[in-house]
Structure 1
């Protein structure tokens, strides 16, 4: 196939382009800007556009199809030309479905935990040398790309995102995959710029549940009230398998779980991650991996990139980076770190970076999210609020929303950096939560804090 990618530089889009190139497709693409690491990865494979911008002349009837990224706008010149010529246009999830429609599709959904669960499943399968196609939302250790496509593999494991498919297809991505096997980890209101009410957001997960093929399998977290309600109220002809947090204990900073073979230490921690593991185990069992084989493999899982990722440690201090930004994720991650390091001072830093987190109305959802931290710090950029054309958020609004009087608030990157690098981290655990970079923080330099 001869394919052209509109907005090829996106994290998901460039990985799909690389996977299809490896599969033998002819690939071209455009974008108005491309950042690292996408830029270098595309350049290495000869897919980096010669110049940035949109060029309608690239769109001809010789193309078999267009893959349209979310970064493009509905009036994109290349998109308009494709419509004019009648070239077939796919959204990212539509194209993944086309690639997997003759396979057994395993889709991992939920407001939180889906990248970690997908990563756990792929780690276990890779450990046992079981080849599958996949799409995951983070770069995994031992995997070259975030997307892998073949003609021969039986299974395709997909991370099922509830965000929109493309500028001209406003359906959530995970509605398009039609799973044979699916998982729902949790439901906590997010993406309020797209789903303005909690009820509207929850409805998307009901649609996802009902999108399973007849006789399909739904694995679900029965400890999440909304998930339990959505799945158990579904009248679709599907099989339902609940899971919950396994028994565990923390001894000297290491988490142990109970297995048929006795207690087993893990390289990851946190109740939410143990819940994720329980869900991953059910999925792997439905894919033919026995319980004992699952535990043997999961013992060496160290976590997904940016998900409670340990970036520095010495004898009495540790620094973690985490992608957490929604209220439920922030609360779960902060609680996990405090439980794991109960005797240490936990300094939890959160960057408010997304549309939802910078929305004055949504802020109240963060109440109590940082309560388990001994020191709570919030950073946000008024400039980011301005760029997103949103109402200004004041420090007082943030303090009120989190309902914590001693919360420390920074709005200038240099002041936040100065605060961090002047901390005495003796007997501490520092947690940095954000989907951004705190206005340009060099995470590699944080190792200097522990020297």
Structure 2
């Protein structure tokens, strides 16, 4: 097949392009800007466009398919040319479905934890040399790509994102996969620029449950009341399999998972991650891995990139970074840090970076999200607010939203960095939560302050 990617530089798009190239497809692409690691990866495969920009002349009748990325706009010159020629135009999830419609599709969805659960499943499969196709939203240890497609593998494991499919397809991505085996980890309102009300957001999960192939199954976190209501109300003829957080203890900074064979030391920590582990176990069992083999493999799982990822550790202090940005994720991650390091002072730094978190109306959802931290710091950039064309969020609005009298707030990147590097981190646990980089913080420099 001859496939062209409009906006090939995206995190998901470039991985799909490489997967098709590895499968023997003829792949071309365009983008107006491409950054590392996408740039280096595309270059290594000979897929990096010779020049940045949009070139309608690349769109010809010889193309079997065009894959349209979210970074492109609806009036993109290459898209318009493809439409004019009547070419088959796929969104990213549509194309993944097309590649996997004859496989058993395993889809992992939920407002939080889906990347970690998908990563756990793939780690277990890799540990036991079980070859599966996959798409995951983070770089995993032991994997050189985030998308793998073959003609031979029976299973494909897909991270099911609820965000929009493409500029011309406003359906959430996970509506398009039609899973045989599904998992939902929870529902916590997010993406308010697309789903303006909680009810509207919940509706997307109802549609997902109803999209599961008849006779298929849904494993779901039964501790999430909103999710439980959605799954139990569905009239789809599928098996409904609840899961719960397993028993565990924390001793001397080590998490021990209770198993039939006794306590098992594991690398990940926090109630939310133990809950994720329970979901991953059920899915692996559906895929033919028995319980004992799951436990053997999961003991070596160190976590997905940017999900409670340890930056560095000193004699008395430690630092982690995490992708957490929504209120539920911030609360779960901060609580996990305090539970893991009860004898250390937990310093939690949150950057408000996403559309939702920078919205004055949505801010109140963060009430109590940082309560588990001993020291709580919030950073946001007024520049980011302007770029997203939102009304300016004030210092007072943030203070009021978190309802924490001792909350430290910074709006200037240099002031935040000065604060961070002036602290004595003896016997402290630093947690940096952001989907950005605090206005230019090099996370590697944090190693210098951890003793």
Give the TM-score of the pair, scaled to structure 2.
Answer: 1.00
* Corresponding residue for residue 440 of structure 2: 440
C-alpha displacement at 1:281, in angstroms? 0.2
| Aligned equivalents of 1:91, 1:447: Cα separation in 2 | 41
C-alpha displacement at 1:72, in angstroms? 0.3
| Aligned equivalents of 1:408, 1:318: Cα separation in 2 | 21
**Secondary structure, aligned partner of 2:275:** helix
| Aligned equivalents of 2:439, 2:20: Cα separation in 1 | 34
C-alpha displacement at 1:416, in angstroms? 0.7
C-alpha displacement at 1:357, in angstroms? 0.3
* Corresponding residue for residue 414 of structure 2: 414
* Corresponding residue for residue 210 of structure 2: 210
Indicate the RMSD between aligned Cα atoms, in angstroms.
0.5
Structure 1 residues 6-21: aligned runs within 5 Å: 6-21=6-21
**Secondary structure, aligned partner of 1:126:** helix
| Aligned equivalents of 2:44, 2:101: Cα separation in 1 | 30
* Corresponding residue for residue 104 of structure 2: 104
* Corresponding residue for residue 168 of structure 1: 168
**Secondary structure, aligned partner of 1:448:** helix
**Secondary structure, aligned partner of 2:337:** helix
| Aligned equivalents of 2:387, 2:264: Cα separation in 1 | 48
Query: Which contiguous aligned blocks of 4+ residues in structure 1 show a shift greater than 2 angstroms?
Result: none
| Aligned equivalents of 2:316, 2:80: Cα separation in 1 | 58
C-alpha displacement at 1:323, in angstroms? 0.2
* Corresponding residue for residue 321 of structure 1: 321
| Aligned equivalents of 2:275, 2:244: Cα separation in 1 | 6
* Corresponding residue for residue 358 of structure 2: 358
* Corresponding residue for residue 152 of structure 1: 152
Structure 1 residues 38-437: aligned runs within 5 Å: 38-437=38-437
C-alpha displacement at 1:450, in angstroms? 1.9
| Aligned equivalents of 2:31, 2:379: Cα separation in 1 | 30
Structure 1 range deviating more: 410-419 or 192-201? 410-419
C-alpha displacement at 1:324, in angstroms? 0.2
**Secondary structure, aligned partner of 2:311:** strand
| Aligned equivalents of 2:408, 2:36: Cα separation in 1 | 32
Give the TM-score of the pair, scaled to structure 1.
Answer: 1.00
C-alpha displacement at 1:257, in angstroms? 1.3
C-alpha displacement at 1:314, in angstroms? 1.1
C-alpha displacement at 1:405, in angstroms? 1.4
Unaligned segments of structure 2, at least 5 residues? none
| Aligned equivalents of 1:135, 1:24: Cα separation in 2 | 18
C-alpha displacement at 1:315, in angstroms? 1.8
C-alpha displacement at 1:256, in angstroms? 0.6
1:374-417, Cα deviation, whole Å (9 max, x unpaired): 11000110001001111000011000001111111111111111
**Secondary structure, aligned partner of 1:52:** coil
1:48-68, Cα deviation, whole Å (9 max, x unpaired): 111111111110101111000
1:82-105, Cα deviation, whole Å (9 max, x unpaired): 000111100000000000000000
Unaligned segments of structure 1, at least 5 residues? none
**Secondary structure, aligned partner of 1:312:** strand
1:203-245, Cα deviation, whole Å (9 max, x unpaired): 0000000000000010000000011111111110000110000
| Aligned equivalents of 1:357, 1:69: Cα separation in 2 | 24
**Secondary structure, aligned partner of 1:97:** helix
| Aligned equivalents of 1:290, 1:165: Cα separation in 2 | 35
| Aligned equivalents of 2:217, 2:396: Cα separation in 1 | 47
1:252-277, Cα deviation, whole Å (9 max, x unpaired): 11111111111111111000000000
**Secondary structure, aligned partner of 1:165:** strand
| Aligned equivalents of 1:258, 1:398: Cα separation in 2 | 40
